Amino acid sequence: MAGKPRVVVVGGGIGGALLAKTMEPDADVVLLDPKDYLEISWAELRSMVEPSFAERSLIYHKSYLTAATIVKSSAVNITEHAVLTADGQSLAYDYLVVATGHVLASPGSRTDRLTEFQKENGKIKSAKSVLIIGGGPTGVELAGEIAVDYPDKKVTLVHRGSRLLEFIDQKASKKCLDWLTSKKVDVLFKQSVDLDSLSNTENSYKTSSGETITADCHFVCIGKPLSSSWLHDTILKESLDNKGRLMVEKDLRVKGYNNVFAIGDITDIPEIKQGYLAQKHALLVAKNLKLLIKGSPASKLGTYCPGFPLAIVSLGRKEAVAQLPFVTLSGRIPGILKSGDLFVGKTRKQMGLGA
């Protein structure tokens, strides 16, 4: 191989960004992402109540990458040798890392994303009542942020399931419900709101069980689908499981491939999908890529052990519920771990930036 080998990273979320950054000294790195910035996604809900918070959680790719080539487009196909992009480029690779996580719902420009947070904050500020649709982490954390920063707003959360946060255990989910109820958030279970009938002008919403909710604005907080539909037309189609996730070996290479890895939420690793785990995958894959580049045999690659089901759900600025090994905690102590800065300073430092 003449010169440094080419590593193409598809997806500039927390996993792909860290991988690209870590590989810069050892490879000719190309980062492909439809956004010009990395978004620390779990800071989104704080940015809706405090838009200036996003100044630190939205980071231009060019701020933390010093040598990599940044291509602002989406991958649409993968061949044995190259990634094809929506804007017609062909990016040749020696090694490929797929880190496309979830479908992008945000604007491609950091400036537009900042404006979006300003608008969402304006909507919250001018409303007397807010409807949140979805009781997963996004809906619960948004309800928590609004309840703490704007205690005068009437918040209603409608959830299709029979308990909040189905990805964590019953005890943690009950503690979140108790906390929200104590802040006068109305939580309605086993009901849904027809998303097709929503409009920005109406302020009366009918649920599936016929209940009417009055709210001046609404936020749809249902989980985003994985960004894997595009993979069905690529050489990796046989490596997708029935949920659209890429099946990986213990060394995080995609099943059936020697030079293609996958990291983050797009993988079939049996663990809760978390950003700190995507970061762990990125560091392991960087280590493995460096070994392969040095000529080590595949038998020497490091292997990944799925993480323990650990999660912290923030409830406003000071409190949280944490599902930790053997114990579930709620209140100020888990809040100290996450809710103040939402790991933004820690993540920025990991990317070589000031907190």
Applying CB under 6 A, which residues contact ligand FAD? 10-16, 32-35, 41-42, 74-75, 99-102, 104, 137-138, 141, 227, 230, 264-265, 273-276, 278, 312, 338
Q: How far is the CB of 6 from ligand FAD (least distance, A)?
A: 17
CA distance from start to end of the chain: 38
Q: Which is nearer to ligand FAD, 41 or 203 (CB)?
A: 41
Sign, Cα dihedral of 97, 233, 110, 120: negative
Q: Which is nearer to ligand FAD, 35 or 218 (CB)?
A: 35
* Distance in angstroms (rounded) separating the CA atoms of residues 336 and 41: 19
Q: How far is the CB of 96 from ligand FAD (least distance, A)?
A: 12
* Distance in angstroms (rounded) separating the CA atoms of residues 168 and 350: 27
Amino acid at 259: N
* Distance in angstroms (rounded) separating the CA atoms of residues 90 and 126: 47
Q: Which is nearer to ligand FAD, 115 or 296 (CB)?
A: 115
Q: Which is nearer to ligand FAD, 108 or 203 (CB)?
A: 108
* Distance in angstroms (rounded) separating the CA atoms of residues 305 and 314: 26
Q: How far is the CB of 141 from ligand FAD (least distance, A)?
A: 5
Q: Which is nearer to ligand FAD, 228 or 288 (CB)?
A: 228
Q: How far is the CB of 310 from ligand FAD (least distance, A)?
A: 9
Q: How many Å is the maximal CA-CA distance in the chain?
A: 67
Amino acid at 86: A
Q: Which is nearer to ligand FAD, 203 or 341 (CB)?
A: 341
Going from the C-alpha of 154 to that of each of 139, 158, 182, 220, 333, the distances in angstroms are: 15, 13, 13, 16, 27
Q: How far is the CB of 319 from ligand FAD (least distance, A)?
A: 14
State the DSSP code for 193. B
Q: How far is the CB of 53 from ligand FAD (least distance, A)?
A: 14
Query: Which of 108, 264, 135 is CA-nearest to residue 191?
Result: 135
